[in-house]
Structure 1
Amino acid sequence: MEPLHPGDPRRIGPYELEARLGAGGMGQVFLGVSPGARRVAVKVIRAEHAEDERFRRRFAREVEAARRVGGFHTAQVVDADPEAESPWLVTAFIPGPSLQQSVAERGPLDPEAVRELAAGLAEGLAAIHACGLVHRDLKPGNVIMAADGPRIIDFGIARATDATALTSHNVVVGTYAYMSPEQVLGDAPGPSGDVFSLGCVLAYAATGAGPFDATSIPAIVHRLLHEEPDLSGLPGDLSNMIAACLAKDPERRPPLDALITAPKSIEAPAPRPAGTPLPDDAVGTHANATLVATRRQDAPAVAPPGPAPVGRRALLIGAGAATAVAMAGVPAALFLTRGDGERKAAAPPAPAPRPDGLLSPSGSLTAEKVETLDEVAITSDGRTIAAGGLDSTITLWDVATGRVLRTIEKTGWVSALAFSPDGRSVASSCSTPGLLLIWDAATGRIKVNVRSGEFGLNSLAYSPDGRTIAGGNPDAQLFDAATGRRLATFDLRNSGVNAVAYSPDGKLVAVGVDGYYNKPPGNTVQLLDGRTLRRRGQLVGHTANVTGVAFSPDGTRLASSSADKTVRIWNVATRRTVAVIKAGEATVKDTKFSPDGSSVLGACSDRTVRIWNAATGALTATLVGHSQPVSKVVLTPDGHTVAGVGSSKPDGTVTLWKV
């Protein structure tokens, strides 16, 4: 549970919001209080989905179906408004840790507790299926271990089984490590798909690891489709029950009533010979399963229709070979299937570099006990990377060796991060309360600790001479880098600031405005004087929050990213747009120029980093493999290494790519 962020709503419908409970691909979940003082979980759908009428129709249909779900082992839907500007759903609040948290903190459950968990979850799934729903995302994070028994939560991607799908056919939705084979391959999963996911959840509860864990998501997918689960060490009846749930063939999985009433009588299916492909009806993929993750403006919106089944070779978009085992629960990306006419089992993933401009990670940076990294900075010499997030620590790594240099603790929630030009200091912001903190990079000693306002700063940037620091939220501010004294403020009428950047000559500060509640001058880039923050101009053109700003190395151009799914390149002198780059369905959360100014990079919500030609807007490479939406990127001075972070769920990884 986290405090509300400055831009979060304080009320949804009749419900007062008190805190953040979590986030997912469909929306943000808040702890709320009803008019009668009952605690509830309020899920607010993300803007990009709310704008899709097809999604609204599906959401309304599934809300009505979910309202019918009863039973002791689910979180009851109590209210919803599919017609609201941001559709929302309210369920009963179930206090207690998730199964994922419980196992991480206390270790695996004993066999008898796993049997009780199996019966409880099977009863909950039976209640869901009785209403014509399939959960489609059962995983340890969606199981609450309440004091009076387990509860299944999050109907966010449930699908009514008796209705025509309104989403794109064969889109993969869910979490790979807990998906059924048919769901991984893009087919619409039925109730037996939830049984497979239940088997994965039970294996995690019993062992502390997923039954198909591997060192990369492509390897997980390969194991899930073509290998038997690892259930070694479990008692015979428990192993039999879980193995039956994990049968590759949906028809061979046990019914839920057997899991509830007679789990010890379930026999394990006979294992398939290693490398034996699944039956055609279990793994068939179709040409319309193909979606293009990134496309240029003049490209077709979807892949052209093709013949019915195609070969089984699949290329994973948004997942790479260096993803850590601990993050096997990453939400699914999209599959790009290619017909090759072969009828053999899928080959293991090919090493980087990938075809079609896809680049897998060259490495990653991790540290003990670090789970969330949302901010990243790099020294001007490219030798040291710093990253931080909700863990209240800043970790510094040696880029060349991957070695942790030091950990700075008691930083508060790190909402912004920047190195001084000489690399001797690292500035951070603490969100609650709002603080500007400056640390000695060599020792971790605190040098400056001053209040920055009611809220923490969402972005920080040192001036080229290192004397001042620009920051923002909810207004633009300028601080003395030596003392932390506030030097100037530019009033943005509480519109909010997502990004700040200094021009190479230090004469301008660019401020990306998030347009909080559509207050002026929202969705703009403000150009301010680098010493006084007096207004020098504004860039107008984005239609949603500006999320990132960056000057080109020569200072003549500026790139800005936005929640409107574009990157704009501006002529700084004329204040005019010179290029608009579209990122398809992905929100671009940050942007940077390459050191030579020839390319512009975008950190994207679909777990990729895109690289475009800055002159033509042509996509030149897509960096895949980070397990979460990428929120921030930095580059080494030679432009050959890109580092990205972002963790809507526990991750703790800085992903590196060689470009």
Structure 2
Amino acid sequence: MLPLSPHDPPTHGVHRLHARLGEDACSHVYLASGQGQRPGALRIVRSEYTTDHAFRSAFDDIVGAAGEVDGRYVAPVMNADPRAATPWAMVARPLAPPLSELVDAHGPLPEPALPSLALALAQGLADLHASGHVHGSLWPGGILIARPHAVIADVGFEKAVPGADRSPPHPGFAPPEGGLTTTADVFAWAATLCFAAGGVTGPEGLARVPLQLRGLVNACLQVDPRLRPDSADLVAMLGGPATPAPWPQGLVSLVKRYEDRAEDLLSEAKGAALPASRLLRRRRTTAFVATGAALALVIGAGTAWGLLRLDRGENTATGPEAAEAGCSEGDAFSPSTPTTGALDAVRIAFSPDGDALAVTGEDSGLTLWNWRTGEEIARPTESVHPPGAPVFSPSGCEVAVLALLPDERGDGEYSRATAYDLVTGRSTEHQGPRSERARDGLVPPQNATSLAFSPSGDRLAVAVSQRSGLSPVGIVDTDTDEEIATWPVENARTVYEMRFLDEERIVAATSSEIAIHDALSGEIEQVVRDSSALGFALIPERSEIVYVGNGDLVRWDIDDWAEVDRVPIPDFHEARDDATVTGLSVDADLGLLHFGWRAPESAPEETRHHGHLFDLAEGTDLWEGEETPVPGVMAFHPEGEIIAAARNDGTVALLDPDTLEPVRVLP
């Protein structure tokens, strides 16, 4: 969805145009509304077909057929004039993202969503076929992922284009025999499911389709159309007719955010005032709706990214109340007294829903804030390992940190990975790999050095400081809190930072290298050996790692295993032997890369802290030449609504993402 361009008409007949939805083989499509009519998709026929009698006749037939189709899973025609000088049709349009945009921006749909998608689309095709008509151009761009269920965006207007039976509008989803037949629609249904499951065009994604659907999808992809089931058989084999199961909660949240931005754009087009809670997002509406890509939860302190990280299904540990509560609403760890002085902020991270900001400091411990109101909402612990970043689980409202706990033997304190559920008040300690003597309480356990949740939230990886004969990383099942795997002890080194790349792989940084490991076995799959400073960031939607190599910032392509770009940082390069990296984070939607570092304590205070904010597209430092000290640590809001920056005085500034000017300071 894009704003109208100067070349677009503001009206068409009685309809007011609000935004562009795109175009297809036969028409230009706009978000529009008539007098007293809810917004819909106005399809205005292309000028080259307005005098084509065969096209006009076919378009007229399609409009007539639309009234015979159940509109539950196929968007109905609200109004039309196929006999106008420029024929048009107004089609119902939920403010929902197309399947193609969701997958392109966030990757394949979560597996639990695929049976619901399959059933809704099958029932839509069956309704069409039962009325004696075919669709003829089914593809992911014509599927809307509305909150109740998927909807086929129209009854198949593109088949009115001359030659559509010989040259299908979307060849990647058309059968080898071509034609406008019900069996061709069934093939397109299967190819669309493959795209939703695997993120690739056509049937190549079959291997990613869940096993319970794969046999049926494969049958629909048969070269011989006589071997394919018909749409009524599809519905029956999928357990219908029936209402599809609800989408996973993460997908619902994603769709709602898309709807919010579409409503913002619609309100702006109509000249209506936006709700105050969405004013900050208004400037980003156009880019989000155009690309569908402002929800990626990009790295910083082990946060979640992508669609799968929002979906974990039912959260039995927190219960239904926790699933419904926002992370800024939990009161289980409410502070007894408010924090009034500086936070001595060291690390910061936003919750996956974007409502809460977690801050760690050596004196203040772990605090959580409703950043919109400036209110401290929780203080789970007042003692944390200073370098430890807060890490949110992708599901529910659980935050984990390296908490400093007393040794039961009286030998001081040690750091332990501890997870706090902000809604239920449940806290869970994870010691990570331990020796037998530590298990027996004869010696203190090793200090935890890093932790990370998997994309689904089902696993937690805990790293510990290395000791001869001890595994460096343990993998915990978060449902049972049991350690289900440990990495081998051979050639083990301390892991200081790690992130799950996906459910099966972990990126881990030691003092000398960054490696991709098999999550459960710990086996090293690939290694970057020129890493010269602890820490890295991920750009998952680009399959890239960003790290410091020989004093430069390096972008490394994970798939091609090759360097993409290298940005020199002269001041850091000169001081790198004595410098400490304080922050490295990326927001691919904003196109920003932050890098912070600190000179040793012997350096003058005014020259000790350094920060750089690079434009990813241009490679330029937006803060170059700034006279005032810039933040050494930054965290990006998951929806691009705000940027949090831990300043050198211990406070946290909230920056406008467009101007980079502070709009609030915590506390």
State the TM-score, normalized to the length of structure 1.
0.36
Q: Is the helix fraction higher in 1 or 2?
A: 2
Larger Rg: 2
State the TM-score, normalized to the length of structure 2.
0.36
